[in-house]
Amino acid sequence: MKKHLLSIDDLTREDIERILHRAESFAEVSGREIKKVPTLRGRTVINLFYEASTRTSSSFEIAAKRLSADLVNVKSAGSSVDKGESLKDTVQTLSAYDPAAIVFRSPSAGAAGLVARWTTASVVNAGDGKREHPTQALLDVYTLRRHRRKLDGLNVWIVGDVLHSRVARSNILAFTRMGCRVTVCGPPTLIPRGVEALGCDVSPTLEGVGEADVIYALRMQHERMTGSFVPSLREYAAQYQINSRRLGAGQLLMHPGPVNRGVELSADVIDSPQALITEQVQSGVVVRMAVLYELLAGAPTGAEAPIHPEPQPA
Ligand code: ASP
């Protein structure tokens, strides 16, 4: 595996399989009373977040702590960024602590790649603008695999604001890499031009969603919208909301969170047994443990270290 995880494109299918396998072994650790392994003892992980986050920041924090790393959380609000310090200076300052990894979230597409150039630490992209969110896609693949062992040929529909969604981009790449057939669906104003080049189909309506094995709904990303992309949320919901009328009995429902209740999803489907939303959050911890493990402690390609050493109790 490469030194950084900036995009799903950094991973082969084999890399993804290895991360999923590792995450499964960490799920066993998470079931213990003492949920800790010594793997990253003495290593430092810095969570550097320039944008709001609940799930991603908390699960990376728990993941680093369960691997016994020393963790530092830096949020742009309240840091020297407020005093005008540049991203480069902030990264170089934090790199003075010799971190093993910097987990970085930013509102700017491509910013994680810049951070990787300014530090000797491994960089994990925890979401860069509307570009990518690779660990979200990995935890989604992990969650789905717990329900459908075979992903090859699975029909996945990603519905909603694809244009502003880094999750959509990473998930199209990850799901197709795992053999799924992916269709993106939403109002034409919210579908990026040329998205088919990522290997998915496009549907401007929900007609045909009944064929899906999995419906993956996206949040309306108001914070990234500069204009008006839909006439109104009510009209959007009328045409694209996943509700109990549109969710078939055998279909699984996913969403990266946070959910806008009553917009992309109706309250009843959020709370239905078909919804994997809470399970996706749980998967975030073990998958992020696996990513940190692979980047910081995994065997480099061709090295002799065992591929799947069992985690040892601390
Ligand atoms: N939590 C995800 C992200 O940070 C999805 C979302 O915000 O809608 O991209």
pLDDT of amino acid 300 = 54
Q: Which atom of ligand 1 is nearest to the CA of 165?
A: 9
The Å distance, Cα 311 to ligand 1 centre, comes to 30
Q: What is the widest separation between alpha-carbon atoms in the chain?
A: 58
Mean predicted confidence (pLDDT) in 81-87: 85
86 exposure class (CB count in 10 Å sphere: 0-12, 13-18, 19+):
exposed
- How far apart are the C-alpha atoms of 261 and 187, rounded to whole Å? 19
CA of 292 to the centre of ligand 1 (A): 20
Atom of ligand 1 nearest to the CA of 105: 4
Residue 85: pLDDT above 90? no
Residue 303 has pLDDT above 50, yes or no: no
Pocket mutation for ligand 1, best pick of 159, 165, 216, 218 (most atoms within 8 Å of C-beta): 165
Please choose, from the candidates 227, 215, 156, the residue with its C-alpha nearest in 3D space to the C-alpha of residue 189: 227
Pocket test for ligand 1, best of 159, 219, 221, 259 (most atoms within 8 A of CB): 219
* pLDDT for the residue numbered 78: 80
Which residues form ligand 1's pocket by a CB distance below 6 Å?
127, 133, 166-167, 219, 256-257
- Which atom of ligand 1 is closest in space to residue 167's alpha carbon? 9
Tell me how far the alpha carbon of residue 257 lies from the centroid of ligand 1, in angstroms.
6
Q: How many CA atoms lie within 13 A of 262 on its CB side?
A: 2
| pLDDT score for 126 | 98
Q: How much distance in Å is there from the Cα of 310 to the middle of ligand 1?
A: 32
Question: pLDDT digits over 91-103, tens only?
Answer: 999 999 999 999 9
Residue 296, pLDDT > 80, answer yes
Reported as a pLDDT band with limits 50, 70 and 90, residue 185 is very high
pLDDT of 288: 98
Task: State the distance from the centre of ligand 1 to the C-alpha of 221, rounded, in angstroms.
Answer: 8
Backbone angles phi, psi at 294, to 5 degrees: -60, -40
Nearest atom within ligand 1 for CA of residue 221: 8
Confidence class for position 298, pLDDT limits 50, 70, 90? confident
The Cα–Cα gap between 145 and 203 comes to 25
Distance from C-alpha of 114 to C-alpha of 203, rounded to nearest angstrom: 35
Q: List the one residue out of 178, 166, 187, 53 whose CA is nearest residue 111.
A: 166
Predicted local confidence at residue 248, as pLDDT = 96
Q: For residue 36, how far is its CA from the centre of ligand 1 (angstroms)?
A: 28
Q: What is the pLDDT of residue 93?
A: 96
Please give the torsion angle defined by the CA atoms of residues 249, 252, 258 and 262, in that order, rounded to the nearest 10 degrees: -20
- Please provide the DSSP assignment of 244-285 as one string: TTTS-TT-EEE--S---BTTTB-HHHHTSTTB-HHHHHHHHH
> Tens digits of per-residue pLDDT, 198-253?
999 999 999 999 999 999 999 988 877 776 788 888 999 999 999 999 999 999 99
Sheet of strand 181-185, all strands in order from the earlier edge strand to the far edge: 201-203, 181-185, 155-159, 214-217, 252-254
Residues 254-274 have pLDDT tens digits of 999 999 999 999 999 999 999
Q: Against a cut of 0.85, is the pTM above it? A: yes
- Note the pLDDT tens digit of each residue in 22-69: 999 999 999 999 999 999 999 999 999 999 999 999 999 999 999 999
Out of 7-11, 28-32, 36-40, 189-193, least confident range: 28-32
Mean pLDDT calculated for residue range 122-145: 98
The answer to whether 297 touches 312, Cβ cutoff 8 Å, is no
Distance from Cα 18 to the centre of ligand 1, integer Å = 25
Q: For residue range 273-282, list pLDDT tens digits in order.
A: 999 999 999 9
pLDDT, tens digit, 9 for 90 and up, residues 153-173: 999 999 999 999 999 999 999
- Interatomic CA distance for residues 85 and 202, integer angstroms: 42
306, pLDDT greater than 50: no
Looking at residue 299, its pLDDT comes to: 59
